Structure 1
Amino acid sequence: MSTVSTGRPSLTARRREATWYEIAEAAADLFSERGFEATTVDDVARAAGISLRTFYRYCPTKEDALTPVLTAGVSTLVEELALRPASEPLTEAVQAAFTTATAGTRYEGPGQTARLIQVMGGVPEIRLRWLAAARAMQDRLVPVLAVRTGRPESSLETRVLAAVLIDAVTVALEHWASEGGREPLPAVSARALALLRLEE
């Protein structure tokens, strides 16, 4: 994600994220009310107040309508982790990166994000996209972990560690959403990471 000198996301990035949320929220409403199969791309675009062309610029298919919101958060997590001090224990670094990545965003409170995750988990076609996106994020995390641990990117340890971390974050998000966002998301992620035995 591009940033300005203040460290905040750029205006372009914020507008893009806002459009993602508008599409995702419209899709989540329609999927909940009508069902995934009965909702068309035209329906989602119309409900989001955008053209079909704009929809397809953000989402190649209807199945992709919700995933950008969640993958953007994980992508920011990877970027934040790369900025953490090398001397910081991995569990602490991941938790700090997660907290920074979600601060000031809709991940921070229950609101729409919890419902978006619930809808995503309940629609098999969308869940497949989410799992595929999580795998892509694992690949992005590998070089960051390789630098931190001093192991080759191709090593089994580095790749398994990336998979474990992304899975832990994913499960934390799902649990947080299933509980209606009652517990602060950083606290849920901290509990999830505490269950892991991460060695650098």
Structure 2
Amino acid sequence: MELFEEHGVEAVAVDQIVAAAGVSTSTFHRFCATKEDAATCHLETAAEDLAGAVERRSGTTLLRAVRDAAQETLDAVEAPALDLRRTIAVCLQHPPLTARWLLVGRAGQQRLAELVGGAPTGPGTQRAEVLAAAVMGAVLTASEHWALDGGSLADHLDRCFAVLEPLDEPFPPRPRQT
């Protein structure tokens, strides 16, 4: 992160990363195909981790399940909180990493839509997809404000989820009456 912050993602070479990390190039490439992977690899597992954490919270409301799961998932990322904040901030400032950040959010949205809808997304799942998009938008917005503005992640999550309270429903959702 320090190299990316100081020089920009485009200007940093893999050789610089391996030197700073104290690992060989072959070790680096065993875990990361590109330098962008080095910055975002722990974020890319977050979508599935978030889905698992949400799934364990059935019996509450959708917003409570996702809000608590988001906090748990972000707390569990194997990087100190300051590094995670820096990672998100660097992702937002460098287009190649911004794209990866948005893909992580989209993957989380997809998995959440499947949980909300109780089935894979496809024809007839617009409601679940819209709810998931709104909720993941709140998670991403809270995470981005936390990374850029500081403060407590929990407070940012609470403020963003408060906006969505009119959309809240039991989780898992009750079957729709026809």
- TM-score, with structure 2 as normaliser: 0.80
Pick aligned residue for 1:198 from 167, 172, 177 = 167
Q: Percent identity?
A: 36
SS at match of 1:37: helix
- Superposed CA offset, 1:121-150 (max 9, x none): 110111112112222222222222223xxx
Pick aligned residue for 1:172 from 142, 152, 163 = 142
Give the Cα–Cα distance (whole angstroms) in 1 for the partners of residues 120 and 45 of structure 2.
Answer: 26
How far is 1:99 from its partner? 2.7
Pairing 1:118-133 to 2, within 5 Å after superposition = 118-133=89-104
Give the Cα–Cα distance (whole angstroms) in 1 for the partners of residues 77 and 35 of structure 2.
Answer: 24
- TM-score, with structure 1 as normaliser: 0.72
- Superposed CA offset, 1:145-179 (max 9, x none): 223xxx77321111122222222111111100111
Contact 1:117 1:177 in 2 (8 A): yes
SS at match of 1:66: helix
- Superposed CA offset, 1:38-92 (max 9, x none): 210121122112222332333222223222222333432211100112x311111
Give the Cα–Cα distance (whole angstroms) in 1 for the partners of residues 9 and 65 of structure 2.
Answer: 38
How far is 1:107 from its partner? 7.4
What residue in structure 2 maps to residue 25 of structure 1?
none
Equivalent AA in structure 1 for residue 153 of structure 2 = L
The alignment's C-alpha RMSD in Å is 2.3
What residue in structure 1 maps to residue 65 of structure 2?
93
- Which runs of 4 or more aligned residues in structure 1 lie more than 4 Å from their structure 2 counterparts after TM superposition? 104-109
Pick aligned residue for 1:66 from 34, 39, 52 = 39
Pick aligned residue for 1:83 from 49, 56, 72 = 56
Give the Cα–Cα distance (whole angstroms) in 2 for the partners of residues 37 and 92 of structure 1.
Answer: 39
Give the Cα–Cα distance (whole angstroms) in 2 for the partners of residues 107 and 187 of structure 1.
Answer: 20
Give the Cα–Cα distance (whole angstroms) in 2 for the partners of residues 33 and 163 of structure 1.
Answer: 34
SS at match of 1:65: helix
Give the Cα–Cα distance (whole angstroms) in 2 for the partners of residues 104 and 67 of structure 1.
Answer: 15
Pick aligned residue for 2:112 from 129, 133, 141 = 141
What residue in structure 2 maps to residue 6 of structure 1?
none
The answer to whether the aligner puts 1:157 opposite 2:130 as a matched pair is: no
Q: Which has the higher contact order (CA 8 A, sep 6+)?
A: 2
What residue in structure 2 maps to residue 35 of structure 1?
8
Cα distance, 1:80–1:126 mapped onto 2, change above 3 Å: same
Cα distance, 1:146–1:54 mapped onto 2, change above 3 Å: farther
